[in-house]
Structures are given as C-alpha cells and as structure tokens.
Amino acid sequence: MIRNVFRTLFPKGYSFLRPEALVLFVIVWEAAAWLWPSWPSLLHKVLPALERDFTDPTFVQAVVGSARRMSIGYVWVMLVGISGGMLLGRLPIVDQLLGSFAVAIHAIPGAAWVPLSIVWFGMTERAVIFTVLLGAAGIVMVETDTGIREVPPLIGRAARTLGARGLNYFWFIVVPAAIPKIVGGLRLAWAFGWRALMAGELLTSVNGLGQRLNQVAKAQQLDQLLALMLLIAAIGIVVDGMIFKRLEYEVRVRWGLV
C-alpha cells in the first residue's frame, strides 16, 4: 500500500525516494538508539517532538517564515542570476570586467555572507534574503553563462541558414539552447540557497527554522534538535525531488539530452 502511494506521488523515471530507503533509515536509527542510550529513538522521541512542535504556533510561524524568505530570496536569485549570466555570456566586455566577480561570489559559501548582510541590513529579514541571494546567484550566473556560450554548432549553423541573425538569433536560438543548463543551475541554486537561508537564520534573530535550531541547541533538547534537522533535510529533499529534479529531467528529455 505504501508502494502505491509512492507510485502515484512520484511516477517512474525520476523517483527520488524509495520506500525501502526510508525503512532502512528507520531501522539503522533505531538500532543506534538501542545501542547508545543518549541517542534518542526516532519513533519514540524525535518524531513525537516534531508532532508537538507543529502544535506550537510560533513553530509553525517559523516554518512559514523560512518558506517565505526562501521564496523571495529565490526569485531574486533567478532574476539576478539569469540576467547576469546572459550578460556575461553575450557581451565580452561584461565578461572581461565582471566575470571573475561572478566566480568569486560563487566561491564564497552562503554562510560566510551573513556577517556582511548583518552589517548592511541589521538583524532583519532583509539580511537573510540577501544572504540567500549571494549564496545562490553565483551558480545560476555561471551555469547560464556556460549555457549561453555552448550552443550546439549544428543548431547554430541550421539557424543561420534559416535566416536567424543578431538579436533574433540570441532570443530564439541561444537562449532556448541554454535552457537545460539554466535549469540545472536553478536546481543547484535551490540547494545552495536553502543552506544559505539556514545559516542566515541561525545567526540572526529572525523567527525561522535556522533560528529555532539555535534556540533548541541552547536548551540542550537533542530530540527537538534532531527533529528540526530532519525537517530541514526533508524539505530540501522533497522540493528538490518533486520540483527541480523532475523539471530538469523533463527538460533534458525534450532537448534530446537523455
């Protein structure tokens, strides 16, 4: 029955979570809990703690808050990352002047941007969103740039003999040809962004999952802490699997890359 539920939710071709994996996970966890008493049981301690959390309105607010900040940040990441990448790929002058900056921004981990964000925006939501932007835009820029530069030569030649030139060529050939790479970059950006979000929330006093981690760690509540981490990981896996991985797969199939 569990299998059927999974099959309807996650059709074949890009299932990202097998029921068997979950079962194995639970078994290993419980075995560890049995062996090391200080490690809380998943079924008896951690999951109930999570259940209790969801009855707490501040907790629910935190989850919603994190989701909201992530969404806003991600929209910015898409805007800045894709347009930046297009400029880098298309205009040599932009690449010469700003190319290294894009790579540099990408090289700095999201968490490392938090101090600067706090300096500029204070301990506010904006600082967190800014952290997400800086943590994730870099990869989108880099992937978009590569995608823009790598039009399959045969496609390019066919397009030119059919009369595509200049701006037409850019919008109708170069950009569509780059979409698989761009989508790949957006998928990675989600993971980078989610990480940056947690780091940002951990270090600012904004009411989110990250900050809650801090609270719970201070209160030395291991089962709550683990519950929180599971939730954070689960959100990451589900969003990646159900949205991005699926989108990437469908795009690659249509573009003939699979």
Rounded to a whole number of angstroms, the minimum distance from the CB of residue 249 to other proteins is: 13
Q: Considering beta carbons, is residue 1 or 162 the nearer one to other proteins? A: 162
Question: Cβ 253 to other proteins, closest distance in Å?
Answer: 6
Query: Which helix (H) or strand (E) segment is 85 a member of?
Result: helix 57-90
Nearer to other proteins, 44 or 160 (CB): 160
Nearest to other proteins of 80, 164 (CB atom): 164
Smaller CB distance to other proteins: residue 88 or 173?
173
Tokens encoding 189: 């950006």
183 or 228: CB nearest other proteins: 183
Using CB under 8 A, which of 14, 16, 249, 255 touches other proteins?
255
Looking at beta carbons only, is 243 or 258 nearer to other proteins? 258
Using the Cα atoms of residue 218, residue 224, residue 226 and residue 232 in order, give the sign of their dihedral: negative
Q: How far is the CB of 247 from other proteins (least distance, A)?
A: 14
The H-or-E segment that residue 237 falls in is helix 222-239
For 187-221, b where at least 16 C-beta lie within 10 A, e where not — what string? Answer: bbbbebbbbbbbbbbbbbebbbbbbbbeebeeeee
Nearer to other proteins, 38 or 161 (CB): 161
* Cβ proximity of 17 and 10 under 8 Å: yes
Does the protein bind other proteins through residue 25 (CB under 8 A)?
no
Interactions with other proteins, residue window 151-210 (CB under 8 A): 154-155, 157-165, 168, 172-173, 176-177, 179
Q: How far is the CB of 146 from other proteins (least distance, A)?
A: 18
Residue 152 Cβ, how far from other proteins at the closest point, in Å? 8
Q: Which long-range contacts (CB under 8 A, 24 or more apart) does 58-63 make?
A: 58/207, 59/212, 61/207, 62/207, 62/208, 62/209, 62/211, 62/212, 63/209, 63/231
Sign of CA dihedral 42, 45, 51, 53: negative
Q: Give the residue, chosen from 18, 44, 52, 254, that forms a contact with other proteins under the rule CB under 8 A.
A: 254
Structural contact between residues 245 and 186, judged by C-beta atoms closer than 8 angstroms: no
CA 136, CA 78: separation in Å to the nearest integer? 9
- List Cα–Cα distances, 159 to 90, 166, 167, 168, in angstroms: 17, 11, 13, 10
Piece in contact with other proteins (CB under 8 A), picked from 12-20, 68-76, 150-158, 181-189: 150-158
Binding-site ranges for other proteins (CB under 8 A)? 154-155, 157-165, 168, 172-173, 176-177, 179, 253-256
